[in-house]
Amino acid sequence: MDALLVNKSVLLFMLLTMFVTSQMIGGVEASFHLETRVTMTNKLSEQLTLNCQDKNHNDGVHTLQPGESHRFKFLSDFFRSRSLWFCRFNWNGADHNFDIYIQKRDSCHDYECFWEINKEGPCLIDQVLKEKKCYQW
């Protein structure tokens, strides 16, 4: 009878340990999300309307005059590197879509991404190297 009681106690202790460990791992994973900021500047000679979103969040519709900027921020996924934000850009008859942030593609300095929006396409600006990487619509 004593052996049965010991086995049940050991089993209960093991289950409790596994539960606590899984909760701790889940908590640690949840805390490894990094705030990423994306800034887009209208380099067109006309008004630009944009709307950016990921699968769970919509940043809303924003209208930028030439030279104006808009910034949004979000928590990127540190472990899985699968954050993705896409935008729709409209101006004077033009309508384009672009993935403005792909975590595996974009290595922005200090999680700060700067984009210039041009007629030919958006350009990612490296603030440290002072270089542009431009994409076609």
pLDDT at position 28 over 60: no
Whether the full predicted model's pTM is greater than 0.75, yes or no, is no
Q: Are residues 3 and 69 in the same domain?
A: no
Average pLDDT over residues 105-109: 82
Residue with the bigger pLDDT between 21 and 77: it is: 77
Residue 89: give its domain's CATH number.
Answer: 2.60.40
Residue-number span of the structural domain to which 9 is assigned? 1-31
Residue 78 · residue 33 · CB < 8 Å: yes
Q: Which pair of structure tokens corresponds to residue 38?
A: 């994306």
For 27, the 3-state DSSP assignment is helix
Q: Are residues 66 and 5 in the same domain?
A: no
Q: Are residues 84 and 74 in the same domain?
A: yes
pLDDT per position as a tens digit, 2-13? 665 567 776 677
Q: Are residues 89 and 39 in the same domain?
A: yes
Q: Are residues 64 and 14 in the same domain?
A: no
Q: Are residues 25 and 49 in the same domain?
A: no
C-alpha dist (Å) from residue 36 to 2, 19, 27: 57, 32, 20
Measured CA to CA, the distance from residue 47 to residue 17 in angstroms comes to: 59
Q: How many domains does the chain have?
A: 2
Query: Residue 30's pLDDT is what?
Result: 43
Query: Residue 4's pLDDT is what?
Result: 58
33 pLDDT band, cuts 50/70/90, is low
